[in-house]
Structure 1
Amino acid sequence: MTELLAVERVTAGYGESVVLEDVSFALDEGDSLALLGRNGVGKTSLLTTLMGLTRLHKGAIRWAGKDIARVAPYKRARAGLGWVPQERHMYPSLTVEEHLTVVARPGRWDVKKIYEVFPRLQERRTNMGNQLSGGEQQMVAIARALMTNPRMLLLDEPMEGLAPIIVQELLGVIRKLVQDEGLSVIVVEQHARLALSLTQRAIVLDRGCIVHDSDSRELLDDGAKLDRLVSVA
Structure 2
Amino acid sequence: MPELLAFDRVSAGYGESVVLEDVSFSVEEGGSLALLGRNGVGKTSLLVTLMGLTRLHKGAVRFQGRDIGRMQTWKRSRAGLGWVPQERHMFPSLSVEEHLTVVERPGPWNLAKVYELFPRLHERRANMGNQLSGGEQQMVAIARALMTNPRILLLDEPMEGLAPIIVQELVRAIRRLVADEGMSVIVVEQHARLALSLTERAIVLDRGRIVHDSDSASLLADGEKLDRLVAVA
Normalised TM-score (structure 2):
0.99
Whole-angstrom distance in 1 between the partners of 2:169 and 2:116: 13
Aligned partners of 2:53, 2:232: CA distance in 1, in Å?
A: 29
Correspondence for 2:70: 70
Please report how far the alpha carbon of residue 2 of structure 1 lies from its aligned counterpart in structure 2 after TM superposition: 1.4
SS at 2:139 equivalent: helix
Deviation, structure 1 residue 27: 1.1
Secondary structure in structure 1 of the residue aligned to 2:70: coil
SS of the residue corresponding to residue 97 of structure 1 reads helix
Say how many residue pairs are matched. Answer: 233
Aligned twin of 2:193: 193
Corresponding position of 1:167: 167
Unaligned runs of 5+ in 2: none
Tell me which residue corresponds to 2:183: 183
Q: How far apart, CA to CA, are the structure 2 residues paired with 1:117 and 1:6?
A: 29
CA distance in 2 between counterparts of 1:28 and 1:138 reads: 26
Deviation at 1:56, TM superposition (A): 0.3
Two-structure CA RMSD over aligned residues (Å): 0.4
Partner of 2:57: 57
Counterpart Cα distance in 2 of 1:116 and 1:22: 41
The match for 2:111 is 111
Aligned to 1:3: 3
Matched residues in 1 for 2:112 and 2:227: separation?
A: 42
Paired residue secondary structure (1:39): coil
| Residue 203 (1) aligns with residue 164 (2) | no
Moved over 6 A (4+): none
**Alignment match, 2:223:** 223
Deviation at 1:67, TM superposition (A): 0.6
> Within the alignment, does 1:153 sit opposite 2:137 as a pair?
no
SS of residue in 2 equivalent to 1:190 = coil
Output the TM-score relative to the length of structure 1: 0.99
Q: Deviations over 1:93-125 (max 9, x none)?
A: 100000000000000000010111111000000
Superposed CA deviations along residues 158-189 of structure 1, whole A, max 9, x for unmatched, are: 00000000001100000000000000000000
Distance 1:56 1:125 in 2: 39
Q: Name the amino acid aligned to 1:44.
A: T
Q: Distance in 1 between matches of 2:28 and 2:141?
A: 25
Cα shift at 1:59: 0.4
Q: Deviations over 1:39-92 (max 9, x none)?
A: 000000000000000000000011101110000000000000000000000000
Q: What is the SS of the residue equivalent to 1:227? A: helix
Match in the other structure for 2:93: 93
| Partner Cα separation in structure 1 for residue 217 and residue 183 of structure 2 | 19
